[in-house]
Amino acid sequence: MDSDSLLNLLEQMDPGIVIFDDNLSVSYINRALMLIFPGVHKEDLFSGDIMGLHSERIQTRIRAMVRLMKDSSRPIPFSFKRISIHQSDRYLFIKLIPLLDNKMEDSLNCMLVYDITPFITNKDHRFIKVPVNSGKEITLIDPANIFYLEADNIYTKVHTRSGSYFCDFSLRFLEERLPSEHFYRIHRSYMVNLSKVEKIIKERQSYYLQIQNSDIRLPVSRNKAADFSKKIGLK
């Protein structure tokens, strides 16, 4: 697989398919969808609408995606979701497509669902690839290529040599799923890949980390300073 391409990965997979109308009532699904959602009964899918399967927060995002899909002046939307099934995280790539009838009216909709969990996590549920938004695409970044991560409200900015990207996950969530031998939370707003630190600067009682090949200096918070010193062997 191309190190940063999702397209090659998707070509290897059978997507789950859902056909639903503008009222979000489901009319058709395929068997692959039931394999992705083993805990969902078909009666639950067909008895109401797809909103009943999601939390209120996710419902709001789904409605926004459907509205965007109906706006022909905007790109067809995609999304990346995390769900918990049997106390295990699953990661889904979702794409929405309007369907045209013989009058060329788009009264039906199709949702493609790809379970990419095996391709981005290992057996210990650690990320071997980090999904980020890159323009109109989702790309998968090798953790070794990440310089540092920056909290952005409940989301995260992922900084690499090639640029900065938006990630749907919080910094705390990523901290729990990136290898701790390389990634260290130096501040409530920053986590750094220690292998990408070029210089440690000490000013009075404070530490700053200078990132390789840049003028970027990241602060180590005071409550992290002692543990950080032990981590890198200064104490």
Evaluate whether 185 touches 170 at the Cβ level (below 8 Å): no
Evaluate whether 83 touches 90 at the Cβ level (below 8 Å): yes
For residue 182, pLDDT over 80 is answered with yes
For residue 16, pLDDT over 50 is answered with yes
For residue 157, pLDDT over 50 is answered with yes
* CATH fold for domain 7-119: Beta-Lactamase (3.30.450)
Lowest mean pLDDT among 41-45, 93-97, 127-131: 41-45
Confidence of residue 38 (pLDDT cuts 50, 70, 90): confident
**56 three-state secondary structure:** helix
For residue 234, pLDDT over 80 is answered with no
For residue 22, pLDDT over 90 is answered with no
For residue 203, pLDDT over 90 is answered with no
> Which of these CATH numbers, 2.40.128.20, 2.40.50.1020, 3.40.718.10, 3.20.20.80, describes 130-231?
2.40.50.1020
pTM of the model: 0.80
- Going from N- to C-terminal start, the domains of the chain cover 7-119, 130-231
Confidence of residue 77 (pLDDT cuts 50, 70, 90): low
Confidence of residue 3 (pLDDT cuts 50, 70, 90): very low
Residue at 84: amino acid letter: S
Residue 224 has phi, psi (to 5 degrees) of: -105, -10
> What mean pLDDT, rounded, does the chain reach?
85
Determine the pLDDT at residue 183.
96
Confidence of residue 18 (pLDDT cuts 50, 70, 90): very high
**Structure-block tokens of residue 140:** 């998968």
DSSP 127: B
Residue at 96: amino acid letter: L
Which range of 60-74, 76-90, 112-126 scores highest in mean pLDDT? It is: 112-126
Of 41, 56, 46, which is closest to residue 21 (Cα–Cα)? 46
